[in-house]
């Protein structure tokens, strides 16, 4: 009892309480710290784990650095690593994020190049600052290292870490891996490999007037990696400068490392591959620089900046390591030689494909005389991608990342512009809302057609691709819509049918991230890859594709209403109905009274913000719907009695929308079977497609066609205003323009419609057609098309009780054809030659 009372007295002492609390907090921090490194499956016993992390904490934060006295970098490294070399890998698993992803991205590039014949021999890999050899063993989850690589060189300056690496590969029995303990600045691959003759070097570059270099094939390192080593090399400039001397012209570089950087450092650069999450705030920059400086890890921006300046960027990723309750910035960068893909011939060819100009080879250009060029009336038309490339090359900068991609589907755009950022990195449409069957019937696409279309969710572009036209130009101002199309095209290029069905049929795939890194990444632009790395798991693992984007609001509202009113089972019955009679009965008895509720239409669907946010209906289009409603109701829109307060106009909008929905849905239910032949509404009701009912591009037969090599060579994805893209098209080259309902969005009082019609007239061939759907029966812009040199024909009209296609959402469909008798005289387009150099390609 006395002992107990004595203990109580001690506990009552404030100083003792503070001491005990401090011990408790320290124990808690140690537990959290240790747990943050582990993954619930400890490979070591608890005692060994505590011992390892104790050594880690001591070596990183407490142990004096004794190697500084000699001024030798190797001594400094040994001072830091010798005491923790044996436990280095065990204690870095959670701290050094991104290594596996970097290796996966590099491996994907190598596998793709081997499949396409670009890699004809066993590759050579140099891992600079490879330390314990962890990267090489980790690569085995992507590639069979002993058989895939000819040679692997692990270069590190710390004898203690190199000893761990030597023991590792002796244990694994990998004979093609060599560990070299030397300064990375002095490493020369020719000391260990025969590189062959004729290699490009910094002193033997042949350039054209614009700094364009023709790549030659020769040996060298096919892959160079640096995993959390660049930030630890004091003199990093000579190391980066030495890489081109032993990197093969078709080689790739992979880097993962810590960084901090301000937006001011990179915002004017167009070659960084995108800036999603790249900016670090002031507090983060100051704290992490000071923290890592304790361990001689330098986070100044110059290291990453110089890397991006010296090489071309294929993929760039910015991320945060959620470690011990804090977010440590790190990046992954995949690059290639700066000159790869920047030859004059290739730039000109790609530019011609983007602008539909006839492409001439370098020899053809040389044959054209200056006299002929002066006589011709030329029109200079180049893509924005080409113009950006010329600016960069003139300043000895790398090209924008889009030029270094494996495919050139995606045309370069400046993602920093406000017109692109207004969408807040979100697409509006997760699925396309136009009937592809009706398009095919109206347009009758042929193999020589050049099609310009709004991207939307990309389903229409895939439908056109099935008919194999000469070219498809997909245009959207919203980058995220084009990211979605890019994902679909990459998936068809790289994945089997079962994965395609999971992604775009069911809208979910539990292995999305690994598919993205290991299979899709070689087929995507850096910006699209960044977007899906940040949003993919939320889209395909948690929510489902079709419950994302702005259109999710409508689907979620309908789903919530059905659940609230106990109609979920009725919806399931409707989606499974085998006959029209069964479908009509379910519709009339239950579902119709919810979807076509006047209260719902007047209060929610008729709301201006809701129409735009959830359904993508802008104010101008809503006005067209109201105009038709007033005309059909016999009400004069301009009469004094119709000058109503805002609240009453809202009620009138609601009535107009209600009538519009009735004319949309009632005929559709009566004429098309949702479960079997209307995947548009099946998707809206159940959030995914079924094996019986889905778009044509999701059939096994379509997958066979779209997964063929070069299936999408004719596709170009433009992230810009429609007018900007049309204006850069060579005159009289387009044959079809599919504008969906985009002209409904224009203000009748502005000159936007006339300007677009003029540009379309210029770009289309005689006989070329423009397909437009409208929410109005007689859109105001029909007359403007007729005045602009087109013959207008309404090819479908929806009246009460009728159904024009399986969507039936639009009141009319129009086809505008350019006719010869009113076609304006176009300036002649010619190729101009002056000294055979690149600037002579006037398109």
The DSSP secondary structure of 190-229, one letter per residue, reads GGTS---SS---TT-----TT---------SEEEEEEES-
Q: If residue 155 lies in a helix (H) or strand (E), which one and from where to where?
A: strand 151-156
Residue 770, strand partner residues: 737, 816
Same structural domain for residues 235 and 150?
yes
Same structural domain for residues 240 and 196?
yes
Paired sense of beta strands 151-156 and 177-181, if any: parallel
Query: What is the tens place of the pLDDT at every residue in 444-489?
Result: 999 999 999 999 999 999 999 999 999 999 999 999 999 999 999 9
Out of 507-521, 545-559, 599-613, pick the least confident: 599-613
Instruction: Say which residues have a Cβ less than 8 Å from residue 659's Cβ, sequence separation at least 6.
Output: 629, 632
Q: How far apart are CA 773 and CA 760, in angstroms?
A: 16
Element counts in the chain: helices (H) and strands (E): 38, 14
Angle formed by the axes of helices 459-466 and 479-494, nearest 10°: 40
Q: For residue 619, give the 3-state DSSP assignment.
A: helix
Sheet holding 734-738, edge to edge: 715-718, 471-475, 450-454, 734-738, 764-774, 812-818, 790-797
Output b/e per residue, 573-598; b: 16+ Cβ within 10 A: bbbebeeeeebbebbeebbbebbbbe
Structure token pair of residue 655: 């009535």
- Domains: count for the chain: 4
* Closest to 430 in 3D by CA, of 557, 548, 528: 548
* Closest to 49 in 3D by CA, of 27, 64, 30: 30
Give mean pLDDT, residues 667-691. 94
Helices assigned H by DSSP within 397-518 = 418-421, 436-443, 459-466, 479-494, 497-500, 512-515
Same structural domain for residues 588 and 621?
yes
Same structural domain for residues 160 and 309?
yes
Same structural domain for residues 249 and 130?
yes
- What letter would DSSP give residue 359? P
pLDDT band at residue 839 using 50, 70 and 90 as cut-offs: very low
| Longest CA–CA separation in the chain, Å | 115
User: Domain end: 313, 337, 361, which one?
Assistant: 337
Q: For residue 736, give the 3-state DSSP assignment.
A: strand
Asked whether residue 456 is assigned to any structural domain, the reply reads no
Average pLDDT over the chain, rounded to whole?
Answer: 81
* Closest to 379 in 3D by CA, of 752, 715, 732: 732
Asked whether residue 397 is assigned to any structural domain, the reply reads yes
Instruction: Say which residues have a Cβ less than 8 Å from residue 555's Cβ, sequence separation at least 6.
Output: 546, 547, 684, 687
Query: What is the tens place of the pLDDT at every residue in 330-361?
Result: 999 999 999 865 667 777 778 888 888 876 54
Q: How far apart are CA 53 and CA 50, in angstroms?
A: 5
Terminal Cα distance for the chain, rounded: 100
Same structural domain for residues 47 and 180?
no
Residue 118 has pLDDT above 70, yes or no: yes
Same structural domain for residues 278 and 350?
no
pLDDT band at residue 65 using 50, 70 and 90 as cut-offs: low
Q: How far apart are CA 148 and CA 115, in angstroms?
A: 13
Question: Residue 638: what pLDDT?
Answer: 52
Residue 659 has pLDDT above 60, yes or no: yes
Asked whether residue 530 is assigned to any structural domain, the reply reads no
Structure token pair of residue 819: 């006719």
pLDDT band at residue 597 using 50, 70 and 90 as cut-offs: confident
Asked whether residue 625 is assigned to any structural domain, the reply reads yes
Residue 37 has pLDDT above 50, yes or no: no
Residue 438 has pLDDT above 80, yes or no: yes
Residue 253, strand partner residues: 224, 335
Asked whether residue 384 is assigned to any structural domain, the reply reads yes
User: Domain end: 337, 368, 383, which one?
Assistant: 337
Paired sense of beta strands 124-128 and 151-156, if any: parallel
Same structural domain for residues 35 and 108?
no
Q: How far apart are CA 705 and CA 699, in angstroms?
A: 10
Residue 284 has pLDDT above 60, yes or no: yes
Can you give the length of the chain in residues?
A: 843
User: Domain end: 53, 73, 90, which one?
Assistant: 90
Question: Residue 604: what pLDDT?
Answer: 55
- 80 lies in which domain range? 26-90
Same structural domain for residues 242 and 355?
no
Same structural domain for residues 287 and 270?
yes
Structure token pair of residue 485: 């199309």
Same structural domain for residues 76 and 183?
no
Q: For residue 253, give the 3-state DSSP assignment.
A: strand
Query: What is the tens place of the pLDDT at every residue in 755-766?
Result: 999 999 999 999
Instruction: Say which residues have a Cβ less than 8 Å from residue 8's Cβ, sequence separation at least 6.
Output: none
pLDDT band at residue 394 using 50, 70 and 90 as cut-offs: confident
Task: Spell out the long-range contacts of 371-379 with Cβ–Cβ below 8 A and sequence spacing 24 or more.
Answer: 373/830, 373/831, 373/832, 373/833, 373/834, 373/840, 376/828, 376/830, 376/832, 377/827, 377/828, 377/830, 378/828, 378/829, 378/830, 378/832, 378/842, 379/730, 379/731, 379/827, 379/828, 379/829, 379/842, 379/843
Query: What is the tens place of the pLDDT at every residue in 630-650?
Result: 877 766 555 444 444 444 555
Asked whether residue 811 is assigned to any structural domain, the reply reads no
Asked whether residue 224 is assigned to any structural domain, the reply reads yes
Asked whether residue 779 is assigned to any structural domain, the reply reads no
Q: Is the distance from CB of 152 to CB of 117 less than 8 angstroms?
A: no
Instruction: Say which residues have a Cβ less than 8 Å from residue 290's Cβ, sequence separation at least 6.
Output: none
Residue 168 has pLDDT above 90, yes or no: yes
Q: How far apart are CA 440 and CA 684, in angstroms?
A: 23
- What letter would DSSP give residue 252? E
Q: If residue 288 lies in a helix (H) or strand (E), which one and from where to where?
A: helix 282-293
Same structural domain for residues 247 and 350?
no
Query: What is the tens place of the pLDDT at every residue in 142-165?
Result: 999 999 999 999 999 888 889 999
């Amino acid at each position: 009892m006395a002992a107990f009372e004595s203990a109580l007295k001690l506990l009552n002492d404030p100083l003792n309480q503070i001491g005990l609390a401090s011990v408790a907090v320290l124990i808690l921090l140690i537990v959290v710290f240790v747990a943050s490194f582990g993954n619930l499956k400890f490979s070591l016993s608890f005692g060994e784990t505590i011992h390892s992390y104790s050594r880690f904490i001591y070596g990183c934060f407490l142990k004096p650095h004794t190697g500084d006295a000699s001024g030798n970098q190797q001594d400094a490294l040994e001072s830091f690593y010798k005491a923790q070399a044996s436990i280095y890998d065990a204690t870095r698993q959670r701290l050094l994020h991104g290594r596996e992803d970097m290796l996966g991205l590099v491996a994907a590039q190598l596998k793709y190049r081997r499949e396409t014949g670009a890699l004809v021999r066993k590759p050579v890999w140099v891992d600079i600052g490879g330390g314990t050899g962890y990267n090489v063993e980790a690569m085995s989850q992507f590639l069979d290292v002993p058989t895939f690589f000819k040679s692997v060189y692990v270069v590190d300056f710390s004898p203690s870490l190199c000893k761990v690496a030597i023991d590792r590969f002796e244990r694994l029995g990998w004979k093609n891996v060599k560990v070299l303990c030397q300064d990375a600045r002095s490493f020369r691959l020719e000391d260990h490999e025969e590189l062959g003759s004729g290699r490009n070097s910094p002193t033997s570059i042949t350039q054209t007037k614009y700094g364009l270099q023709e790549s030659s094939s020769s040996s060298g390192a096919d892959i160079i990696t640096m995993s959390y080593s660049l930030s630890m090399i004091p003199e990093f400039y000579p190391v980066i400068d030495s890489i081109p001397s032993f990197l093969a012209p078709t080689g790739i570089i992979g880097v993962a490392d810590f960084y901090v950087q301000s937006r001011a450092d990179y915002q004017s650069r167009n070659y960084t591959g995108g800036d999603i999450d790249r900016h670090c705030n002031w507090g983060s920059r100051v704290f992490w620089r000071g923290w890592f400086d304790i361990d001689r890890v330098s986070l100044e921006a110059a290291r990453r900046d110089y890397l991006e300046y010296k090489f071309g960027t294929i993929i760039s990723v910015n991320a945060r390591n959620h470690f011990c309750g804090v977010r440590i910035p790190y990046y992954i960068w995949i690059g290639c030689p700066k000159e790869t893909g920047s030859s004059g011939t290739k730039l000109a060819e790609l530019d011609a494909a983007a602008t539909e100009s006839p492409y001439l080879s370098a020899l053809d250009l040389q044959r054209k005389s200056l006299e002929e060029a002066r006589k011709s009336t030329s029109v200079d038309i180049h893509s924005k991608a080409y113009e950006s490339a010329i600016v960069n090359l003139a300043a000895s900068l790398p090209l924008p990342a889009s030029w270094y991609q494996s495919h050139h589907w995606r045309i370069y755009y400046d993602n920093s512009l406000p017109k692109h950022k207004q969408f807040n990195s979100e697409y509006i449409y997760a699925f396309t809302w136009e009937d592809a069957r009706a398009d095919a019937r109206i347009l009758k696409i042929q193999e020589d057609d050049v099609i310009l279309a709004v991207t939307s969710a990309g389903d229409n572009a895939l439908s056109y691709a099935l008919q194999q036209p000469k070219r498809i130009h997909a245009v959207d101002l919203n980058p995220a819509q084009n990211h979605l199309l890019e994902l679909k095209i990459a998936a068809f290029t790289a994945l089997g049918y079962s994965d395609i069905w999971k992604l775009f049929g069911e809208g979910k795939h539990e292995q999305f991230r690994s598919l993205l890194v290991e299979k899709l990444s070689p087929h995507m632009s850096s910006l699209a890859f960044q977007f899906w790395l940040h949003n993919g798991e939320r889209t395909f693992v948690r929510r489902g594709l079709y419950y994302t984007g702005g259109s999710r609001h409508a689907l979620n509202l309908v789903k919530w209403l059905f659940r609230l009113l106990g109609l979920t089972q009725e919806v399931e019955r409707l989606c499974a109905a085998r006959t029209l009679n069964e479908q009509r009965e379910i519709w009339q008895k239950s579902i119709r009274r919810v979807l076509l509720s006047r209260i719902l239409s007047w209060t929610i669907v008729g709301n201006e913000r809701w129409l735009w946010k959830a359904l993508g209906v802008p104010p101008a289009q809503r006005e067209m719907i109201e105009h038709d409603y007033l005309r059909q109701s016999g009400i004069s829109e301009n009469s004094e009695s119709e000058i109503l307060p805002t609240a009453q106009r809202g009620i009138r909008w609601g009535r107009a929308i209600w009538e519009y929905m009735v004319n949309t849905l009632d005929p559709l239910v009566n004429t098309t079977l949702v479960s079997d032949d209307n995947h548009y509404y099946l998707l809206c009701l159940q959030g995914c497609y079924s094996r019986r009912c889905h778009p044509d591009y999701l059939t096994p037969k379509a997958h066979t066609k779209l997964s063929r090599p070069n299936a999408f060579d004719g596709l170009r994805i433009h992230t810009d205003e429609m007018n900007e893209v049309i204006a850069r098209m060579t005159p009289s080259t387009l044959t079809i323009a599919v504008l969906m309902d985009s002209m409904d969005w224009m203000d009748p009082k502005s000159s936007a419609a006339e300007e677009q019609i003029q540009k379309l007239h210029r770009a289309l061939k005689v006989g070329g057609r423009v397909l437009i759907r409208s929410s109005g029966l007689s859109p105001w812009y029909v007359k403007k098309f007729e005045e602009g040199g087109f013959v207008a024909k309404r090819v479908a009209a929806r009246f009460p009780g009728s159904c024009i296609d399986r969507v039936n959402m639009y009141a009319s469909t129009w086809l505008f054809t350019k006719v010869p008798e009113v076609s304006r005289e176009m300036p002649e387009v010619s190729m101009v030659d002056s000294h055979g150099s690149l600037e002579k390609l006037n398109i």
